Amino acid sequence: MSWDYIVIGAGSAGCVLANRLSADPSIKVLLLEAGGSDKRLNIWMPALAFKAMADRRTNWKFMSEPDPTRNNRQDMVPRGKGLGGSSSINAMFYVRGNRGDYDHWAQLGNRGWSYDEILPYFKKVEGNRDGVTDIYGKSGVVVVSQVRKPPKLAYVYLEAMKELGYPINPAYNAEPTDGAAIIHVTQHNGLRYSAARGYLDPIKGRPNLKIVTHATVRHLVFDGRRVSGVEFEVGGRVQIETCEGEVLLSASAINSPKLLMLSGIGPQEQLRRHGIEVLHHSPGVGRNLQEHASTQVKAYVNIKTANQEFNLLGKLKYGLQFLFDRSGYATYTYTGVGLVRTQPHLEYPDIQYHFGAFSANYTDEGIEMQKEAAINLQPNVNNSRSRGFMELRSSDPKDDPRIQLNLLSDPYDVQTLMAGGRIARAALNTRAFAPYVTGECKPGKDVQTDDEWIAYMRENASGSYHPCGTCKMGIDPDAVVSPDLKVIGIEGLRVIDSSIIPQVPSCNLNAISMAIGEKGADLVLNERKQVRAA
């Protein structure tokens, strides 16, 4: 059987594509996913997101190379593996970003990607039902809501930010985005609402859609310079499926460029080094890797925090609360968000805060809860300027690629993150937190000067699990895809996921990844109509 479209990857964007393209019963769609089912307790119960990230069945658990900008430390780079992709293992934050993010994309030559042009696609994703704000779409397929019954310290955080002059802004996903709020999440009645739940579950029975799980794509198949199919392995057998229309690559900012390079599309020197025949020299494949640099500012408190409840008694108590009214610690991780300008003259916020009424440490295996009662106010650089890259380790599809983050390689990121850290420290020392905070945990009283802050960050800063940009959209020589998401120099192939992002926006990436999927589906279907009408 030959398909009209083959979608590689059932993540935040791939689920959208499978849904929208197969809505036409005359279009035959094959969806290939390397992972398995998303019907797991550690996926649908929000507080178990850290467990899902620690599980190789649901997370690729890539490892970065030693980072020379951070004392050669290595990080786990999570990417979701299974239906829903990273939307099945993330912290569920729903953050759109601001007008400046997407207008900048358009200014770089990406026509059709300005804020006003991408906003309808966000609303197409959104199904807001709790009335916390009227800015969201109401009829979208992914439920967006405020976390249910957040802990008391989340409201203390809001008062602390207000004390510093930052407004409380429950409509932070519209203009202006500035301020602090209880976080909005992709949840419904306390359960995770992933892209798979919203886009795939209702349509799995469509006869023109086939979903194949545990299918690891090895490389693309070509007829000349046109993609004609996909070679993949499933159940120990290698097979090929052919495609009459287009192959749509939605395999993440790590696996999408990896598959391009395995298929002969990428920097020619690197491909030849691994014995891969060069089909198209595209120097930007794997470059432009971006992340939101973050660091931890933590304080000890005199009341129990969630990290201390990860024991048998706590699981029983909050499990019962979850069963009773689908709220409480079982339904969230971080509960506060903040978007602030570290300097008053800035046009848009340059820092995003995540507030958690718990304390955990980032390790090379992921997130690990600490024993002491503490809270965390984590600054993240919104529009980071540092650039890393990813490369093939070998020509073997089963080998993980080399990921070099270079997270603090640009002085702007260092200075911005330091300013964000100082504001976080000030927030934890406000009158609002005074009844609860007993002392600073990190960075500690010995960190005061610029040099001390920078040394602390090089030893403690990490990414925010938001890698993107490795198949950059644009019109410059390093662009991998054009603004219609077609791979430059190749026919019948598009990349539609977070890897196309030219500049990381001021947001967690799940929302924009689904919006990219919605816009990408429109681009594909509109071109199909034009071809048929011609």
Digit-coded pLDDT (tens) for 390-405: 999 999 999 999 999 9
Among residues 366, 373, 375, 322, which one has the least CA distance to residue 46? 322
Q: Are residues 107 and 251 in the same domain?
A: yes
Mean pLDDT for the stretch of residues 130-151: 91
Q: Within 13 Å and on the Cβ side, how many CA atoms surround 37?
A: 6
The stretch 318-344 carries a mean pLDDT of 82
pLDDT digits 0-9 by tens, 3-27? 999 999 999 999 999 999 999 999 9
Separation between Cα atoms, residue 519 and residue 495, nearest integer Å: 12
CA distance 480 to 476: 9
Query: What mean pLDDT is predicted for residues 24-37?
Result: 98
Point out which residues pair with 217 in neighbouring strands: 232
Is residue 247 within 8 A of residue 220, CB to CB? The reply is: yes
Best CA proximity match to 32, nearest among 42, 52, 54, 17: 17
- Statement: residue 214 has pLDDT above 90: yes
Band (427; pLDDT cuts 50, 70, 90) = very high
Reply yes or no on whether the pLDDT at 306 is more than 90. no
Active-site residue, 219 included? no
Instruction: Among 421, 441, 460, give the residue marking a domain's end.
Output: 460
- State which of 421, 437, 460 marks the end of a domain: 460
**In this structure, is the dihedral angle defined by the CA atoms of residues 488, 490, 493 and 499, taken in order, positive or negative?**
negative
104, 219, 292, 466: which one is catalytic?
A: 466
> What pLDDT is attached to residue 319?
67
Within a domain: 273: yes
The reply to whether 338 and 437 lie within a common domain is yes
Taking each helix axis as running N to C, give the angle between helix 450-460 and helix 411-428, from 0 to 180 degrees, rounded to the nearest 10: 100
pLDDT at 244 (0 to 100): 94
Has residue 139 been placed in a domain? no
CA distance 222 to 225: 6
* Whether residue 130 has pLDDT greater than 90: no
Angstrom CA distances, 320 to 25, 324, 328, 329, 330, stand at: 44, 6, 10, 11, 10
Within this chain, do residues 222 and 337 fall inside the same structural domain, yes or no?
no
What was the pLDDT predicted at 307?
64
pLDDT for 316: 66
> Of the residues 440, 460, 480, which one is the last residue of a structural domain?
460
pLDDT computed for residue 360 by the predictor:
75
d(CA 398, CA 496): 23
Residue type, 69: T
Residue 106 burial (CB < 10 Å; 0-12/13-18/19+)?
Answer: middle
What is residue 308's predicted lDDT score, i.e. its pLDDT?
Answer: 60
Is residue 138 assigned to a domain?
Answer: no
Considering only residues 311 and 433, tell me which one the structure prediction assigns the higher pLDDT: 433
Q: What is the mean pLDDT of residues 178-183?
A: 98
Residues 129 and 269 in one domain: yes
Q: Which neighbouring-strand residues pair with 181?
A: 337
pLDDT recorded at residue 330: 73
Residue 183 has pLDDT above 80, yes or no: yes
* CB-neighbour burial class of residue 366 (10 A; exposed 0-12, middle 13-18, buried 19+): buried
**Residue 143 falls inside a structural domain:** no
pTM for this entry: 0.96
Q: How many domains does the chain have?
A: 2
**515 lies in the same domain as 526:** yes
Q: Which of 175, 530, 117, 89 is nearest to 348 (CA)?
A: 175
Q: Compute φ and ψ for 234, nearest 5 degrees.
A: -145, 130
pLDDT in tens, 233-247: 999 999 999 999 999
| Mean pLDDT across the chain | 94
What's the whole-number mean pLDDT along residues 347-351? 98
Task: Check whether residue 415 and residue 515 sit in a common domain.
Answer: no
pLDDT at 322: 73
Q: How far apart are CA 71 and CA 138, in angstroms?
A: 47
pLDDT of residue 378 exceeding 80: yes
Tell me the pairing of strands 351-356 and 237-249: unpaired
Residue 465 lies in a domain: no
Residue 132: predicted pLDDT = 79
- Residue 193, Cβ density class (10 Å: 0-12 exposed, 13-18 middle, ≥19 buried): buried
Note the pLDDT tens digit of each residue in 429-457.
999 999 999 999 999 999 999 999 999 99
* Residue 107, burial from CB neighbour count under 10 angstroms (0-12, 13-18, 19+): exposed
Q: What is the CATH number of the domain that holds 227?
A: 3.50.50.60
Domain holding 347, by residue range, is 148-182+294-383+410-460
Report the share of the chain in percent with pLDDT over 90: 86
- Regarding whether 217 and 69 lie in a shared domain, the answer is yes
Within this chain, do residues 340 and 199 fall inside the same structural domain, yes or no? no
What the block records as the tokens of 73 is 């430390």
Residues β-bridged to residue 63: 76
One domain, residues 109 and 225: yes
Residue 178's CATH number: 3.30.410.40
188 domain-assigned: no
Residues 281, 379, single domain; the answer is: no
Cβ-based neighbours of 202, under 8 Å, separated by 6 or more: 141
Q: Does pLDDT of 534 surpass 80? A: no
Residue 42 lies in a domain: yes
Does some domain include residue 279? yes
Residue 263 has pLDDT above 90, yes or no: yes
Q: pLDDT (tens digit, 9 = 90+) per residue, 42-90? A: 999 888 888 898 899 999 999 999 999 999 999 999 999 999 999 999 9
Q: What is the mean pLDDT of residues 164-168?
A: 97
Q: Kindly state whether residues 91 and 7 are assigned to the same domain.
A: yes
Give the pLDDT band of residue 333 (cuts 50, 70, 90).
confident
User: Using an 8 Å Cβ cutoff, are 419 and 346 in contact?
Assistant: no
- Whether residue 349 sits in one domain with residue 216: no
